[in-house]
Amino acid sequence: MILRGTVYVEGELRRRYIEIEDGKILSVSTSKPAGHDVIECDGVILPGGIDMHVHFRDPGMTEKEDFFTGTKSAAFGGITTVMDMPNNQPPTDDTKRLKKKIKNVGKKSCIDFGLYGLVGKDNEKMLKQTSFFKVYMAPSTDTDGSYSPDEIEKILKSGGKVAFHCEDKSLFTEPGEDLPGHNRHRPVESELSAIKKLKELPAGNKHVCHATTIKSIGLARKVGCTVEVTPHHLFLNEEALLNTRGKVNPPLRGSDQQFYLWEAFERGDIDILASDHAPHLESEKDTDFEKAPSGLPGVETMYPLLLNSVAYGNISLSTVVKALSERPAELLELKKGRIAEGYDADLIVADFRESENISVSRLHSKAGWSPFEGFRAIFPRHVISHGEFVVKDRKFVGEKGKGEYISGQST
């Protein structure tokens, strides 16, 4: 396959040919390679996105999402690789469950995927199957927040990569009845307190999930962690008219904290953006605030929201590509995230003139709703994984089971 178009190469947009063979990029050149017909691409060719934080609810809660609908939804949003979290039913906390999950979701995934293990007592064996682990430092969806510093230390010393949900439950207050109340219930101080505790752990590959304030980002750096931010903490705040649909852990913060978070993103102070895609059904969300589960869908809208922000001049394309493609690939030690010789041919084609309102009727998650309904976004026209179209002309042409498992063991 040979693609020709305006290509994002080394931080710039240039007219190039991209030669692809066996799922890899053979060359990126100004002259046409011999031997293949050329596919002309209108719009801009960009690296596929890598979402390091999704909850596809498979196994155990597949009425909310499963690995096929989750990866299909991701693909429509320009995401070509996902990393799925372990708070399933049952949790992915031992080797047997991890192996079973790898086998079962591998039959469903239409893009590449990796799996986090939940830190438990079987970590040494689990490390043979995955390098990626998750720690919940406070109760959240389907986890009680218990963890063992000794087990975390063993994983880090063995070369494992550990992601942390940072909240200190000892600083929680009474549950709130609305979004500002939820913000007060799980305050910024609880987030900062939990991040500080990471300094007590040995050096290693430590990652802070869904930081919500600029203070959290600065503190994560000081204690030797990489850091991610979600699109909902960038685009939404506690004043959003979402009621329970905006309930998420950690909470949406105030507009002032949202503003400074955007500034940090613009400066390049954030390592990665990740959706924390955590779908619940409308029927579950539309209840009393205290009873409503925390979490919201976002894997399909993350890249399109950011592309629209680029089109409107709110953020640079290089900053977006770095946070959604280049830096995640570096953290996962994958030959992805760049359009360069030898890298996986994971690509999207997007037209910056095709801005539209997000409509739930055109999204593909089982959740059936979005906190970004009505927001402007630019969805990719084509999505390519390993040199094969998954989405073509905004239609799904992928296959279940085509995604490759990322263990982190051979990178």
**Count of CB atoms situated within 10 Å of the CB of 45:** 24
| Average pLDDT of the residues in 295-323 | 98
pLDDT of residue 411: 42
pLDDT digits (tens, 9 = 90+) for 208-254: 999 999 999 999 999 999 999 999 999 999 999 999 999 999 999 99
Considering only CA atoms, which of 205, 197, 291, 275 is closest in space to residue 243?
A: 291
pLDDT of residue 120: 86
Catalytic residue among 276, 286, 288, 344: 276
Considering only CA atoms, which of 121, 122, 124, 120 is closest in space to residue 136?
A: 120
Q: Could you identify the residue written with the tokens 């084609």?
A: 349
DSSP-derived 3-state class of residue 80: strand
- Mean pLDDT score of the chain: 96
Considering only CA atoms, which of 43, 5, 22 is closest in space to residue 380?
A: 43
pLDDT of residue 99: 98
pLDDT digits (tens, 9 = 90+) for 261-295: 999 999 999 999 999 999 999 999 999 999 999 99
Fold of domain 47-339: TIM Barrel (3.20.20)
Cβ atoms of residues 219 and 168 within 8 Å: no
pLDDT digits (tens, 9 = 90+) for 134-178: 999 998 877 777 788 999 999 999 999 999 999 999 999 999 999
Residue 83 clears pLDDT 90, i.e. is over it: yes
Residues 6+ apart with CB under 8 A from 119: 93, 133, 134, 135, 147, 148, 151, 152, 155, 162
pLDDT of residue 356: 98
Q: Give the side-chain half-sphere CA count within 13 A for 316.
A: 12
Cβ atoms of residues 95 and 122 within 8 Å: yes
Query: Which strands make up the sheet holding 117-118, listed edge to edge?
Result: 117-118, 132-136, 161-165, 205-208, 225-229, 272-273
DSSP string of 91-115, one letter each residue: -S-SHHHHHHHHHHHHTT-SSEEEE
* Domain ranges (residues) in the chain: 47-339
Residue 116 clears pLDDT 80, i.e. is over it: yes
Would you call 276 a catalytic residue per the annotation?
yes
Between strands 117-118 and 161-165, the pairing is: unpaired
pLDDT digits (tens, 9 = 90+) for 350-363: 999 999 999 999 99
Q: Residues of the chain with pLDDT > 90: what percent? A: 95
pLDDT of residue 272: 98
Residue 119 clears pLDDT 60, i.e. is over it: yes
Considering only CA atoms, which of 187, 188, 96, 87 is closest in space to residue 145?
A: 87
Local confidence band at 12 (pLDDT 50, 70, 90 cut-offs): very high
Between strands 347-350 and 38-47, the pairing is: antiparallel
